[in-house]
Structures are given as C-alpha cells and as structure tokens.
Structure 1
Amino acid sequence: MYTDHTPLKELMGHFPQAGEVIWIGLRTATRQEIEIVEETYARIGTGLDGDRYKGNADSKRQVTLIQAEHLAAIGSYLGRGIINPILLRRNIVVHGINLLALKDHRIQIGDAVLEMTGLCHPCSRMEEVLGEGGYNAMRGHGGITARVLQEGAIRSGDRVTILKTK
C-alpha cells in the first residue's frame, strides 16, 4: 500500500523558523528602474499591484522571490560584497528560510498565500548588470517563482510561514 507519509516526506515538512520579508520591488516596465515599496497587494492571476508582469490565473510566474542569503553568495562569486536586489529584478527578498525547500508547500506572506511553482533562473541580462560572469554567479541562486492562491497585502517585515504540504 502506497503512503505519502514516508520518513523523507516528513523531514521535508520540518522548517526551523519562519522567514521575513526584508525588501519588495516592483518592475514597473521592461528595463526601467525598480520601484522599492514597503507594501503591495498580491492578486490572483496578475501578481503584485504595480508590477509590469501580468499573467493569468494559471501562470507560474506571478511573483518572484529570492533569499537575502543568496545576495551575499552571488556577491562572493563576483568578488564583491552583497548584491543590491534592484539589480536582480526579483519582487520579494526574504531571509531566514530556504526558498528551495518550499517545493510542494504553500506559504503565507502577510495576508497573501503563494505556492512555489519553480526556480527563477537568471537571464542573459545578468552579464549586463553584474558584469562578466554574472550569469554563472546567479546560477542556482536566482530564487523561485510563485503563483498567488489567496489575495492579500504583503508588507516589508511580514513573516513567511509554511502552511501545509500539498
């Protein structure tokens, strides 16, 4: 008899702490400056209010998130300090939680509920904004994409908590 309650599945549901939103950025238009905000609203199908990305309810890339801890890693690979998240064009920077461990989990950030839909791979622009080697410095550290499951406000300082396994 098949069961979802394997020891590995159980381990993958343990998180040592909640994360925290430390930065929110909205991409108002292609190749335009990021607007840094303290609060935004997540909407099903269209992502974050004020962000240029407009998908549909089934889109897997409504919101992008990256770990603050990876900003230091990327900087280290480039021989620099912590990278400014404006350069990476992700929507939300969190710290204190491993985003890659969110596979098959739903997360609550403020009033919104998101679900990880995949990895947010770097694009060729990373060479342009970070310099030579920027693309490779980002590989494996680009964050995740997510879909909005429940609309709500997201604010800087909000906790990032795991709701349940799918």
Structure 2
Amino acid sequence: MTRFPRAGTVRWIGLRPARDVPMRAVELAEAIAGKGLRGDRYGSGSGKRGITLIQAEHLPAIAALAGLDALEPSTLRRNVVIAGLPLIALKGRRFRIGDAICEGTSPCDPCSRMEAALGPGGYNAMRGHGGLCARILEGGTLRIGDAVEWLDD
C-alpha cells in the first residue's frame, strides 16, 4: 500500500474565482500553506480542502456514465487534473506537486451542482470518481507538466 508504479503528472489547473462563475484555466498556480491556491475562492479557507484533485483517467468514465461524448475538466470544478497516479491512494499521505507539499485529507465527493453540470443523474455518474481533497503543508508553485510524487513518511 506504500508503493506506486510511477509518479503522476499535472495535466490541467483551474481556479474558481467565486461561487457560481466559470473556472479559469491557468498554466501555473501558487499554493499557499494552510490555505489554498491564490486566486481560488477556497484560497483563504481553513485549508482542509485547500486544493482539489481529480484523476485524468476518470474523466472519460464520468462522461460515459453521464451519457456525454467528452467532458472538460472545468465542468467538475476541481483545481488540478492528475494523470498516471491513483489519487485515492494518497488519502492520509504527503505528496509533492511541483514545489508544493500537500497531504490528502478526504475523497472529494460530488455536489448536487453536478446534476446541472452533467445532466440528470450527473451526481451519481461522478460518485466514486470525484477525486481527492488535500491540505497544503508547504506552499510553492505548481505547473502543467509537473510531477506528482508521494513522499515517504
């Protein structure tokens, strides 16, 4: 349970500037320890949900379950799309994204807004595929293409 086949890779980064507004895709983001991403509406919060991640491999599954041909990452309102790493295995573990060090806190369950975003049944289409919430322990910059690596405890 402490080994991974390889590091993951950041594929997409998005910021939620306010509630109920479209996400803004960015090439890089500044992670603030104990808070979140600068420019994100959760960037000044308690930090437990300071950054939200979703697995790239789950996007086609969510789309298929929702009856869609494809799905843009911004639709799901997660901050970072990661490829090549089973994110749920990082729950309770420390990991590095770019210069930032994070700790997985809990699964990132879908909210009722997914009914409007994905159509009827969208909430259930996303269940089990919602990703991971994480706390930012040490701030830094994360960029598209950065590695996502677990840290030995």
The alignment's TM-score, normalised by the length of structure 2, stands at: 0.96
Contact 2:15–2:40, Cα closer than 8 Å, also in 1:
yes
Q: CA deviation at 1:82?
A: 3.1
What stretches of structure 2 of length at least 5 have no aligned partner? none
User: Identity percentage over the alignment?
Assistant: 55
- Work out the CA distance in 1 between the residues paired with 2:124 and 2:24: 26
The residue number in structure 1 matching 2:137 is: 149
The residue number in structure 1 matching 2:45 is: 55
User: What's the C-alpha RMSD, in Å, of the aligned pairs?
Assistant: 0.9
The residue number in structure 1 matching 2:9 is: 20
- Work out the CA distance in 2 between the residues paired with 1:103 and 1:62: 14
- Work out the CA distance in 2 between the residues paired with 1:55 and 1:132: 31
Contact 2:91–2:107, Cα closer than 8 Å, also in 1:
no
The residue number in structure 2 matching 1:129 is: 117
Rg larger in 1 or in 2?
A: 1
Instruction: Give structure 1 regions of 4+ aligned residues with deviation exceeding 4 angstroms.
Output: none
1:155-166 to structure 2, matched below 5 A, reads 155-165=143-153
The alignment's TM-score, normalised by the length of structure 1, stands at: 0.89
- Work out the CA distance in 2 between the residues paired with 1:46 and 1:108: 16
The residue number in structure 1 matching 2:72 is: 84
Q: CA deviation at 1:86?
A: 0.8
Q: Structure 2 counterpart of 1:115, which letter?
A: E
Q: Structure 1 counterpart of 2:45, which letter?
A: G
